[in-house]
Amino acid sequence: MNDRTRQVYFSYKWGGESERIVNELEAALKLKGITSVRDKTALGYKGKIGDFMREIGRGNAIVVVISDHYLTSDNTMFELVEIAKNKDVHERIFPVILQDADIYKPVNRIKYIKHWEDKKKELNEAMRTVDLANLQGITEEMNNYDTIRDHISGLTFLLKDMNALTPEMHENTNFLSLIGALEETLNAAPVGAAQQTASVSIVPSPTVDLQSQRFAPAWLRNRPIAIAALVSLLGVVAAAWIYIAAGGRFARVEEVGSQTTESADSDQFSKSATRGNDLFDQNRFADAVVAYTEALRINPESHVAYLNRGSSYLHQRQYPQALEDLTDAVRLNPQHVESHVLRGLALLGAGRRPEALDEFRKATALDPIGPLGTCSLAAALWLERKAPAPGKSIGVCSNDSFRQLLAEVTGGESP
């Protein structure tokens, strides 16, 4: 099996200037003894296109040739989202940005957001004209449109913030700077690193979202209807698992961390934490605090319980208490994006803006294209006075709970 950490992958739209650049760069890499992988040569007859695009997403060094057609193509945008899902995206992608890719001004990037919103709307309207039972495979396309629409703003911002040089500069030097950067990444990568990355789950935990906002595809947000349809199509067990992945409450709150508790304590922890969730969903935040406090008495190492109790305090504008709990949540699980996001909001509510800015930056670094990561990026840019408030930035922050909490902690302030 080839080690993808030692190969350069190409993600590009066939034809025209994009393919010409890929051909030239591939030839230059061959002179350097560097193996390159592209669909036209690596994907044989009847090869699975989706599997190959996911393989590109797991690559350690990927040259992405960004054009207007790239940003509006289903397949190439699927590849770009797959690349970003596998973390360290800034270190793994090497962009060549063509002149027709209009990403350097916010007003121009909005047209790409609108493009994907329109595609989703068109497919959604067409889906309503047929029976749900006949939509096998179509819903997957809808999910892809959802994912691309949610990520296009963050991805284009990431690309425009990288000094990619111009295509002419690359060609005039026979891609000297680009190949040098690729060689540095390939030489630094441990053998097999990309294969290990591929096994990391990207499904968010059902117990650690912003409670009232679920990051499910639009077709799953109307849960009773969607779950009933899924039961008929997939069976009870499959529907239950999809519901859990969408942020449902089928799964009980589990203890987080390396410690375990006795069965009776575990059951009591679950009951207390679940009661806290139910009270939270009813906006009974003070009562939710009591329930989460009981859960923490049983398991004081649960970052989820600290997170949810901190969120309860945050909704009551009790910022010192919220900050204390959310600091513990970050301490117990420093890689958890939402803990950093909520801690940033608590710091903002407490008037500690420089520290809030740092926290939002950390959240963005952990998940540069996810819903919370893009909202954190919007908040950071706003705090730096480089962009409008996230609640007023079209297509930047689509998480209603984040925008609501931001408005609460800032008193509705805008720059």
- End-to-end CA, the chain: 54
Same domain, 44 and 99: yes
Q: Could you tell me if residue 84 is inside a domain?
A: yes
Same domain, 183 and 223: no
Same domain, 176 and 45: yes
Domain count, the chain: 2
Q: For 100, which DSSP code?
A: T
Question: What one-letter code names the amino acid at 9?
Answer: Y
Q: Could you tell me if residue 213 is inside a domain?
A: no
Q: Could you tell me if residue 80 is inside a domain?
A: yes
Q: What is the pLDDT of residue 118?
A: 92
Q: What are phi and psi of 74, to 5 degrees?
A: -55, -50
Domain boundary (132, 166, 197) is at 197
Instruction: Give pTM, 2 decimals.
Output: 0.51
Same domain, 159 and 242: no
Same domain, 185 and 116: yes
| Region of residue 223 (left: phi > 0; alpha: psi -120 to 50; beta: else) | alpha
Query: Which residues have C-beta within 8 Å of that of residue 104, sequence separation ≥ 6?
Result: 160
Same domain, 149 and 264: no
Same domain, 235 and 184: no
Q: Could you tell me if residue 146 is inside a domain?
A: yes
Domain boundary (164, 197, 230) is at 197
**Could you list the residue range(s) of the whole structural domain that residue 71 is in?**
4-197
Domain boundary (197, 228, 252) is at 197
Burial-class residue 196 by CB neighbours within 10 Å (0-12, 13-18, 19+): exposed
Burial call 200-234: b when 16+ CB within 10 Å, e when fewer: eeeebbbbbbbbebbbbbebbeeeeebbebbeeee
Q: Could you tell me if residue 204 is inside a domain?
A: no
**Residue bearing tokens 């935040």:** 285
Same domain, 276 and 143: no
pLDDT by residue, tens only, the chain of 415 residues = 355 567 999 999 999 999 999 999 999 999 999 999 998 888 888 888 888 998 998 899 999 999 999 999 999 999 999 888 877 788 899 999 999 998 988 888 899 999 999 998 898 888 888 876 677 678 778 878 888 887 888 888 889 888 888 999 999 999 999 999 999 999 886 654 443 333 222 222 333 333 333 223 333 333 333 433 433 443 433 333 333 333 332 222 333 333 444 456 778 888 899 999 999 988 899 999 999 999 999 999 999 999 999 999 999 999 999 999 999 999 998 888 899 999 999 999 999 998 998 898 888 888 877 778 778 888 888 887 755 555 444 345 767 778 788 888 887 654 3
Same domain, 397 and 256: yes
**CB 35, CB 8: distance < 8 Å:** yes
**CB 70, CB 100: distance < 8 Å:** no
Q: Could you tell me if residue 161 is inside a domain?
A: yes
Same domain, 187 and 226: no
Could you write out the DSSP letters of every residue in 31-66?
A: HTT-EEE-HHHHS-TT--HHHHHHHHHT-SEEEEEE
**CB 158, CB 122: distance < 8 Å:** no
- Check which CATH number belongs to the domain holding 294 and give it: 1.25.40.10
Same domain, 182 and 260: no
Q: Which secondary-structure segment (H or E) carries 93?
A: strand 93-97
Beta-strand relationship, 35-37 and 93-97? unpaired
Q: Could you tell me if residue 89 is inside a domain?
A: yes
Per-residue CA distances from 213 to 100, 209, 242 (Å): 36, 7, 16
Q: Could you tell me if residue 96 is inside a domain?
A: yes
- Check which CATH number belongs to the domain holding 18 and give it: 3.40.50.10140
- Rounded CA separation 363/372 (Å): 8
Same domain, 103 and 171: yes
